[in-house]
Amino acid sequence: EVFRFFVVTMIAISVFGASTFAVIVGEMTDPADIWDPEPPTFTLKTVRLFLAVSWLAFAVSIALAGYSGSFLALMRQKTKGEIDEETIKKWTPAGLVVSAALHLLIVTGFFFMALSLVAYVGSFGWVIV
């Protein structure tokens, strides 16, 4: 039950993070225009790369959480809602690996999103990182 709630939460967070795709393909202000005459910390090309990595991390976390939730639902259906202790012990290591991977993907997504902010707002972006 706890893992199911965790998976749903990860999907919700990832959906909002994956919305960065619209920013990647849209018109963006060049950081060089903002920081002129000084060079920006990151170029527009690098910012787009950071946002793409962020989007990829969130998209993979949506897929992983979705597959995990589906697998859990199928297991519950197969056992008619009653999962015994032996099955729980058998699948706990896999659940821990999936949980760690989801956390890592979410943190990676936010990390690269924060790095893209550095190009535009400088020190505030570094504080978020």
Q: pTM to 2 decimals? A: 0.79
Q: What is the mean pLDDT of residues 26-39?
A: 87
Q: What is the DSSP letter of 36?
A: T
> Do 108 and 126 form a contact (C-beta atoms < 8 A)?
no
Instruction: Give 6-30 pLDDT, tens digit per residue.
Output: 888 888 888 777 777 777 777 888 9
Pseudo-torsion of CA 93, 96, 97, 101, nearest 10°? Answer: 170
Confidence check: pLDDT of 83 > 80: no
Cα four-point dihedral sign 43, 46, 103, 73: positive
What pLDDT was estimated at residue 1? 64
User: At 96, is the secondary structure helix, strand, or coil?
Assistant: helix
Confidence check: pLDDT of 112 > 90: yes
Confidence check: pLDDT of 47 > 90: yes
Of the pLDDT bands very low, low, confident and very high (cuts 50, 70, 90), residue 125 is: confident
Question: What are the structural domain ranges in the chain?
Answer: 2-128
If we measure between CA atoms, which residue out of 17, 20, 19, 43 comes closest to residue 30? Answer: 43
> Do 42 and 29 form a contact (C-beta atoms < 8 A)?
no
- E-strand ranges in 35-124 read none
